[in-house]
Amino acid sequence: MTQTILIDPVTRIEGHAKITIHLNDAGEVEDAHFHVTQVRGFEKFVEGRPFHEMPALMSRICGICPVSHLIASAKACDALLAVRIPPAAANLRRILNLAQIAQSHALSFFYLSAPDLLLGMDADPAQRNLFGIAQTAPQLARDGVRLRQMGQQIIELLSGKRIHPGWVVPGGVNQALTEEKRDAILAVLSEGIGIVQRTMLWFRGILKQYESEIQAFSALHTLFMGLVGPDGTLEMYDGRVRIADANKYIIADGLAPEDLNTYIGEAVEPWSYLKSPYYKPLGYPSGMYRVGPLARLNIVRSCGTPHADEELGFFRTLDHHSSFHYHYARLIEILYCFEKINQLLHTPTILSEHVRAFAAPNNHEGIGVSEAPRGTLMHHYIIDDDGLIVRANLVIATGHNNMAMDRSVYQVARRYVRGAELQEGMLNRVEAVIRTFDPCLSCSTHAVGQMPLHVQLVAPDGSVVDEIKR
Nearer to another protein, 450 or 463 (CB): 450
**Smallest separation (angstroms) from another protein to the CB of 430:** 17
**Smallest separation (angstroms) from another protein to the CB of 397:** 17
Residues that bind another protein (CB under 8 A): 11-12, 14, 63-64, 107, 111-112, 125-131, 134-135, 138, 141-142, 145-146, 148-149, 152, 162-164, 448, 450-452, 470
Nearer to another protein, 14 or 213 (CB): 14
- Rounded distance between C-alpha atoms, residue 351 and residue 185, angstroms: 13
Query: Using an 8 Å Cβ cutoff, are 239 and 230 in contact?
Result: yes
Sheet-wide strand order for 29-36: 29-36, 17-23, 3-7, 454-458, 464-469
Beta strands 223-228 and 240-244 are antiparallel
Nearer to another protein, 42 or 111 (CB): 111
Spell out the residues 6+ positions from residue 138 whose beta carbon is closer than 8 angstroms to its own: none
**Smallest separation (angstroms) from another protein to the CB of 112:** 7
Query: Using an 8 Å Cβ cutoff, are 384 and 426 in contact?
Result: no
**Smallest separation (angstroms) from another protein to the CB of 305:** 25
**Smallest separation (angstroms) from another protein to the CB of 313:** 32
**Smallest separation (angstroms) from another protein to the CB of 26:** 35
Nearer to another protein, 64 or 395 (CB): 64
Segment 155-164 long-range contacts (CB within 8 Å, at least 24 positions apart): 155/67, 155/96, 155/99, 155/100, 155/103, 157/181, 157/184, 157/185, 158/92, 158/95, 158/96, 158/99, 158/185, 159/96, 163/63, 163/66, 164/56, 164/59, 164/60, 164/63, 164/66
Nearer to another protein, 294 or 440 (CB): 440
Nearer to another protein, 230 or 452 (CB): 452
**Smallest separation (angstroms) from another protein to the CB of 126:** 3
- Rounded distance between C-alpha atoms, residue 357 and residue 333, angstroms: 31
Query: For residues 459, 462, 463 and 467, what is the CA-based torsion angle, rounded to 10 degrees?
Result: 70
Nearer to another protein, 13 or 397 (CB): 13
Amino acid at residue number 276:
S
